[in-house]
Amino acid sequence: MSKSVKPPHAAQLLGAALGELRASFPAEDWDGLRPSHFRILEVVERGGMRAVDLAAELGMTKQGAGQHVAYLTDRGFVRQQPDPDDRRARRVELTDRGAEFLGRLHRRLAAIESGWTRRVGREDYATFRRVLASIAAS
């Protein structure tokens, strides 16, 4: 009796795609930063914000966000400035180094998406992005 092979489920397919994405970001090429740092930099890029607000936006604890911000500050990707609206708080802002890094990150991501578009076709990739956006929004 032969077993039928089940097609991979969505989690496996997404995992494979994410694995390919992760493999294209070896740590030695990215100043030791990890994807969790990338997320923080991309949120800060939209404008300076308090670490507590950053944590809330990313669904992290204040302590976790604080550790990431400290790491990024020590390496010169962000700076912390007094918040003009609350003297007890500090705002996290992108530095020139952080902005340059994000430019490099966005170019790499665009190249990856361009490659995926070539592999599956423009229309299928556009559908894939619309579906992902819809899932992420809900």
* Block residue for tokens 């740092």: 37
Which is nearest to 97 in space by CA: 76, 69, 81? 76
Q: Residue 20: what pLDDT?
A: 87
Q: Residue 68: what pLDDT?
A: 93
The tens digit of pLDDT for each residue in 88-115 reads 888 999 999 999 999 999 999 999 999 9
* Block residue for tokens 């809330």: 56
Domain ranges of the chain: 31-137
> For the whole prediction, is pTM greater than 0.85?
no
* Block residue for tokens 């530095």: 95
Q: What is the DSSP letter of 138?
A: -
CATH class, range 31-137: mainly alpha
DSSP string, 8-48: PPHHHHHHHHHHHHHHTS-GGGTTT--HHHHHHHHHHHTS-
Low-confidence ranges of the chain (pLDDT < 50): none
The tens digit of pLDDT for each residue in 6-18 reads 888 889 998 898 8
